[in-house]
Structure 1
Amino acid sequence: MKIRRTLAASVAALAVAGAAVAAAPAAVAAPGTTSLASVLAADGDTFDRNWYDFDVLDQAVAAVLAAKPDSPVAVLADGTVPLTAFLPNDRAFQVLAYDLTHRWYHSEAKVLAAVAGVGVDTVEQVLLYHVVPGATIDSRTALASNGARLTTAQGGTITVTVWSRFFKLVQLRDQDRTDLDPFLVASKLDLNKGNLQIAHGISLVLRPADL
């Protein structure tokens, strides 16, 4: 009888242990290290007629790094560094070029030239203002962050305003108080998801100063 009781207790203990193992959550995969530079270059390195991808941004980053190889902008090519970037599409840069020159350019190459006219140092600061270092902020987190102030790699801050979680209406307030602030583009959220570097498309270029 003692042997039976011991055996029964052992079987019960094994059953409990087995249930605990089964209930344990699966190990979470470590985030990947694909860089955002890879995402920007995904559709090639030439301009096109699609105003809703990121050709101008890609070329602006390349122009800064060509002139200043040690620029902090290079962090976008280092996928081991966690960050969140807000990516203005080509249309956003077209609007910025118009604000700078009062001319509406009909090619992405001319838009880039107009933006580059402010000088490489200014372009560098604008690009860094779109990068939030040290944090991988996915869209779910952004939608729960109304009122949050994000410190950028440029040193300035961006304020998050969530107008509607259901419709994913999130606006980013920059340092230009007299112009429109961009919204996250719902179809371009969580770019490069699963990696330490994540990005969200935005409708206008963020401005670190009042233009």
Structure 2
Amino acid sequence: FPELRNSNCVCDFAFGVDTLAHLNELNVKLQGKNVFVHELYSSVKAFKVKLALFSKQMKSKGFAHFPTLITWKCRQSRQRSTAKLFSDFEKIEKTLELVSCPLSFDYEKAPQELQLELIDLQCDSTFKEKYNSEKLDESYASLSETKFPNIRKVAQKILVLFGSTYVCEQTFSLLKCNKSRYRSQLTDQHLSSLLRISTTRMTPDFDAIVKRGDQLHCSH
């Protein structure tokens, strides 16, 4: 490979190795189980700040966070555009902050249809206690639909967003397992039901299912 004799190409390769290491670290955080979108956004937002730090340090020939690159004493710096990568998160940044930290969010910066409800929420001692002691989704589920209809609606839209990588990989693994072992006996409906049962954390109410079904008759 003649490129390996070119110092610039080797520096580019070293830079790529370190960059992929940082991306892999972010990827691991985004693939965790039961991760809500505001937690994903925190990781992505932190990574964006790190990229800005990397870019700033490179301009002054600082490569402390690129150990592979340092070994080659590379002088070239790289600046990556992150506008497109983070554009989707940036569109809902304020909403994410509002839902994840409703008690400290500035109500004057909230959408007008949420301002009055947010003031009531921040003065609600019961919600404060639930917010500090329960999971975020449970806290919002306890809100009155008549008193906080708009905040509940916004929270529902945000909290249904979650990191799906873990679920997708789990589903794909189960799909391969079931199709290889029981291929001849499976229909599309069977496979769909198997995957739904295997990947959900909900426990079926078997008693209710039996009651709704046809009554079994014993043969004489």
Fold match (TM-score > 0.5): no
Q: TM-score, normalised by structure 1?
A: 0.24
Greater helix fraction, Structure 1 or Structure 2: 2
Higher strand share: 1
Taking structure 2 as the reference length, what is the TM-score of the superposition?
0.23
